[in-house]
């Protein structure tokens, strides 16, 4: 599995160009004269994979979510405050989660965690507690995104501390929100203020992270 961390150091385009929506996709007619976000994500993915944009296909999964694929590769996109994460795997579905570590924890921050997870976090040094819970949250969110629409209200039922071999995390059925199943979850290396995880439908030996800079030399 490969994960591309696309650094968006230029932040918003100074000319007010349209950026992708929450799922990483811009409208078909969007274009950026400065080249920061050149139309749909297809051109960027094609550049990263060294293939033609025609080989990058946009589809919808069984839950109506936007998906990208290129040949035998399944791809997923996740935005954070500093740019994009794009994960791809051959022969397996993938999902990503990234979250900023908060400066403090309020009562809401504990809701996605079960009793055992809360006890483990409370036993950890206070200075590390927020980072620990944020990392666990990204594991849960990636697993839930992979196996259904999200079903985040059921996050406390997903045990990420007792993960099985190769990071296997069991996701319970969540009614109309998801079918449940098993996700193979790995943490991704990030800066100290961020946590990220990737989930796959099959075991993967390693998630290799590549850092690339944006804009990329592609046309609209």
Amino acid 43: pLDDT:
77
Q: Which residues have a Cβ under 8 Å from the Cβ of 155 and sit 6 or more positions away? A: 111, 112, 113, 137, 140, 141, 144
Which pTM does this prediction carry?
Answer: 0.77
Amino acid 217: pLDDT:
43
Percent of the chain surpassing pLDDT 70: 73
Secondary structure of residue 173 in the 3-state scheme: coil
**Domain spans in the chain, listed from the N-terminal domain onward:** 1-92+204-220, 94-201
Query: What mean pLDDT value characterizes the chain?
Result: 76
> Looking at residues 183-200, what average pLDDT do you find?
90
* Degrees to nearest 5, angle at CA 209 with 205 and 211: 170
More confident of the two residues 66 and 89: 89
Domain 94-201 listed as CATH 3.90.470.20: yes
The answer on pLDDT for 37 being more than 80 is no
The answer on pLDDT for 172 being more than 60 is yes
Q: Residue 137: pLDDT band by 50, 70, 90 thresholds? A: very high
> Looking at residues 150-173, what average pLDDT do you find?
81
């Amino acid at each position: 599995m490969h994960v591309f961390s696309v650094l968006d150091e230029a932040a918003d385009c100074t000319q007010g160009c349209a950026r992708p929506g929450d799922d990483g996709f811009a409208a078909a007619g969007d274009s950026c004269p400065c080249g920061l976000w050149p139309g749909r994500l297809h051109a960027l993915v094609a550049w990263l994979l060294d293939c033609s944009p025609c080989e990058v296909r946009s589809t919808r999964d069984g839950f109506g979510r936007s998906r990208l694929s290129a040949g035998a590769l399944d791809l997923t996109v996740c935005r954070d405050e500093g740019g994009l994460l794009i994960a791809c795997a051959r022969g397996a579905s993938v999902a990503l989660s990234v979250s900023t570590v908060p400066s403090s924890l309020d009562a809401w921050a504990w809701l996605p965690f079960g009793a055992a997870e809360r006890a483990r976090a409370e036993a950890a040094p206070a200075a590390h507690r927020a980072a620990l819970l944020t990392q666990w949250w990204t594991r849960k969110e990636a697993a839930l995104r992979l196996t259904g629409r999200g079903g985040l209200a059921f996050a406390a039922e997903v045990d990420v501390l007792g993960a099985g071999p190769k990071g296997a995390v069991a996701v319970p059925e969540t009614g109309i929100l998801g079918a449940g199943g098993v996700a193979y979850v790995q943490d991704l290396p990030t800066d100290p203020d961020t946590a990220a995880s990737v989930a796959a439908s099959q075991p993967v030996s390693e998630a290799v992270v590549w850092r690339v800079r944006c804009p990329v030399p592609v046309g609209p």
